Structure 1
């Protein structure tokens, strides 16, 4: 925006509120290395004391809760594969493509609940939606330890997906409701890392359960893995009823937030251009689908999930195929944690730096690495050391999710309902694709080579390499449209600045005043 426009905005009439004109995308860095400093310094000196205190408080409570919550979910999502390779396959007679079917049914349940549930995150009562769904998730996680047949596991995986559907997009939406442009990517990064840590810890947990608890209480090691997951999940869900404030608009009555802090939080987000929710109506659908955001992000998220399909599948099943000749049962559970650790480091730097720099170079680096990795795995007959390198690169898939989650929050910040809809719709479409892509591209009976799957993932990564060009021009178009709207408001204000009012001093007619 031009300096002249900024000056005009600063002298707007009080009738033009901050929520209508605030739209800052500025990031306060003076040197290129400041971005790296900001990876570790989250509360810079230029922040006022009260704002710094507010940020500390919402980081400690909101960010800690959502990370702990999603950590437990990642434990269970990863544990289905870990359980499969440590006895569940034999105990439940999980043959053929049963593992792929279980994952696809989870995706089906996820879609059914997400389509409806994510839209309610903007409603005042939705503060309790996440803790309720997590409590249901925890109970169902316990139930997985009691199944005796593949069909029972299929049913429970569908119900677990049903419980999780609205959770991920709702958490991302919530984070976008509390944090500004130069804060949100790092917070989404930490949230995404909690999922990676859950996947990493799941291997160690299943390995420990297999080694130390097999046979205890009449349960196998893989069953103990699900029991321990449930023990972690339920208490965290119960804490959510007390601590989790929901979105900014829902947090007025939480005990740990003063009214002055709540008002400051609202001012911060209005200055950053994040709009408050309005009433839900069918006009939302028309409004959303006439904009570029929903089409672009849904397509990108579908490709993102296709690229991520080998994560949690390719590497563990390759290890299993080489067990016990090359790798032990403990190795099969523990080694995939290295892949998750690579993802954690990649997210910390690439997604973390997105708060300070443009996101596009980081997305490009990620897709180039995927193209190298998946094309090499498609060839398959490569040296063992290089194959390990390619499997480790798969851990970068969380970088895409972390960065694009933050990008949706910023691209749709001017319409709260659209922001919730795009987050939910994009994830729902991608999960709908996963119902069949898991089975067609990565069928368990084709393990561990998955030749077709790796080719498809290579193509998806290549398309994703160039897709951000669309969003770059789309965001520029949004900015120009917004600036034109502001200029129009300014012009209307200037035209009405000369108004007629009674001359109460002299009593003789009227006089002009500058408002």
Structure 2
């Protein structure tokens, strides 16, 4: 049996035979007398400890976090759990990374094409690039609204490969545009197809991995976007240099075609391999019943509740809690901070033809992406062991230094390069906040899915006008107003995480009793019968546990079934 409370092999060997009831552990399953003040005190202590255990990190030494950057399958895990994690990483994680890689290619290629003389050939001038980015955001928002409702449903696992196929075809179509209005229409449709992907994948990753596993997986997913942006520059540069004029097409047109060639085959593979969330993976061919049983037990131990039925009470649950308001504000500010990414450095290079050729303009932004990869690997990867708030603070301090310097603008070229290299740290913010949403909302699948999609959608609503107002192409390359806006966002983000920290403490106390009951049930049932039957534990707006169904998980791996789980109504 896999014990969530096991920190390492030695601890289990020296586990005390008895546990004093005045320091009740989460394993204690005695009957408490509500009238006894000592018991009441012990219940409060033990329930809080149980909630903390669900969100704890299995590590012993301070340097474990650095070891985990490279060792993803630690020695204290049983062999079958290591093999299961490896299987999920190879299939699920690798696929979503490949998918997001192509998404980054298809998102950033318009700026690369713009720098490769597309602006001249189709009269894509003035603020047209800003308008195209805003129309992409508009399409993104429309489709994301639908995804927040659909992502927890059984058939949602087919959504990602279907939409990726559509945006791959649209990428091909962009190579044929001859006017700016045609490009505007296609960018809107590309955004429409790409909108649900990010929130649905973040939700899916949070459905398969524990607290000390999820940040590294989201980090890998986010890094794939940086690699896509980096590779896009190399592709466009190679296309401009080697394919210009071939088949009567310009180099920027070949760039769109090559991106489409990458996208469509990966999309088609998703129909066979992508499992969706754990609730949607019942008939996935590469996961056995034993695997699903162990996955369900792992996630229940980590406090992640299965999806239930949709009901009107969902709206009340969501908007009467703090999560949606906090994370929406965070995502809006995160996107304000991220506005210069893919714009500021690229257009500054374009403004200096005396220093940088067209291939230079395509290749040098890849250095930014490489810095983003390293930053995410270190800062977001370490969040699996240490508090993510530490790394959020480090990132905002760097942003304050960078944006305040770019506001001044009249700085040496070498220092300006340094400031631009800080900009891709915005992806560190994205990785950390995505992991936090999954952990903060682990007790309610529907709320978790909605908040991920809703908060990102609202931030994209802001992007529709912030791109035009703060980073209009006509004001390139200085963008003084834009860097002031991004600096302001970074300053607020220095202090906003404090509110999230208090919110998580509040939830730990609010749901502590139901967390303890679930952990006791898992432990007692698995020891006595070899199986685990656990309440779905949906909660009403006051945090009361409502039993609407159960998961039955065979620890021996012989069978696993899931009953009907309904949200509180």
**TM-score scaled to structure 2, two decimals?**
0.83
CA drift at 1:6: 5.2
2:351–2:477: 8 Å Cα contact kept in structure 1?
yes
Q: Distance in 2 between matches of 1:448 and 1:468?
A: 32
Instruction: Say whether residues 1:364 and 2:393 are aligned partners.
Output: yes
Quote the RMSD (CA, aligned, Å).
1.8
Who is 1:11 aligned against? 29
Is the Cα contact below 8 Å between 1:351 and 1:402 reproduced in 2?
yes
- Equivalents in 2 of 1:489, 1:223: separation in Å? 57
Report what 1:393 is aligned to: 422
- Kindly indicate whether the alpha-carbon contact (under 8 Å) linking 2:127 and 2:468 is maintained by their aligned counterparts in 1: yes
Q: Which string of whole-angstrom CA distances, capped at 9 and with x for unpartnered residues, describes residues 133-176 of structure 1?
A: 00001000000001111000000000000001110000000000
Query: Which residue number in structure 1 is paired with residue 533 of structure 2?
Result: none
1:303-354 deviation line (CA, Å, top 9, x unaligned): 000000000000010000001x111111000000000100000000000000
Q: Which runs of 5+ in 1 are unaligned?
A: 14-20, 492-515
Q: d(CA) in 1 for partners of 2:75 and 2:519?
A: 34
Per-residue displacement from partner, 1:171-217 (whole Å, max 9, x unpaired)? 00000000000000000000000000000111110000000001111
Q: Quick one: which of 451, 457, 468 aligns to 1:428?
A: 457
Name the structure 2 match of 1:216: 246
CA distance in 2, matches of 1:466, 1:486: 30
Q: Contact between 1:124 and 1:250, CA under 8 Å: does it hold in 2?
A: yes
Task: State the secondary structure of the residue aligned to 1:122.
Answer: coil
Which whole-Å CA distance do the structure 2 matches of 1:125 and 1:57 have between them?
22
Q: Is the 8 A contact 2:245 2:251 kept in 1?
A: yes
Alignment of 1:188-203 (within 5 A): 188-203=218-233
8 Å contact from structure 2 (residues 301, 519) kept in 1: no
Determine the structure 2 residue equivalent to 1:76: 106
State the alpha-carbon separation in 2 of the partners of residues 483 and 134 from structure 1: 41
CA distance in 1, matches of 2:519, 2:127: 63
Partner SS for 2:151: helix
Mapped pair 1:411 → 2:440: yes
1:497 is matched with which residue?
A: none
2:146 corresponds to: 116
Judged with a 3 Å threshold, the aligned counterparts in structure 2 of structure 1 residues 197 and 5 are, in CA distance, closer, same or farther, namely farther
Per-residue deviation, residues 474-497 of structure 1 (Å, max 9, x unmatched): 000000111244579999xxxxxx
CA distance in 1, matches of 2:84, 2:468: 47
Q: Aligned partners of 1:423 and 1:489: how far apart in 2? A: 25
1:9 Cα offset (Å): 4.9
Distance, in Å, in 1 between the alignment partners of 2:513 and 2:54 is: 16
Count of matched residue positions in the alignment of Structure 1 and Structure 2? 483
Cα distance in 2 for residues equivalent to 1:369 and 1:87? 34
Give me the whole-angstrom Cα distance separating, in 2, the residues matched to 1:490 and 1:142: 51
TM-score, normalised with respect to structure 1: 0.91
Q: Tell me which stretches of 4 or more aligned residues in structure 1 moved more than 3 Å.
A: 1-10, 484-491
Shift of 1:26: 1.6
Matches within 5 A, 1:176-191: 176-191=206-221
The secondary structure found in structure 1 opposite 2:511 is: helix
Higher helix share: 1
Q: Is there any run of 5+ residues in structure 2 with no aligned partner, and where?
A: 6-19, 32-49, 521-569
Three-state SS of the structure 2 residue aligned to 1:355 is: coil
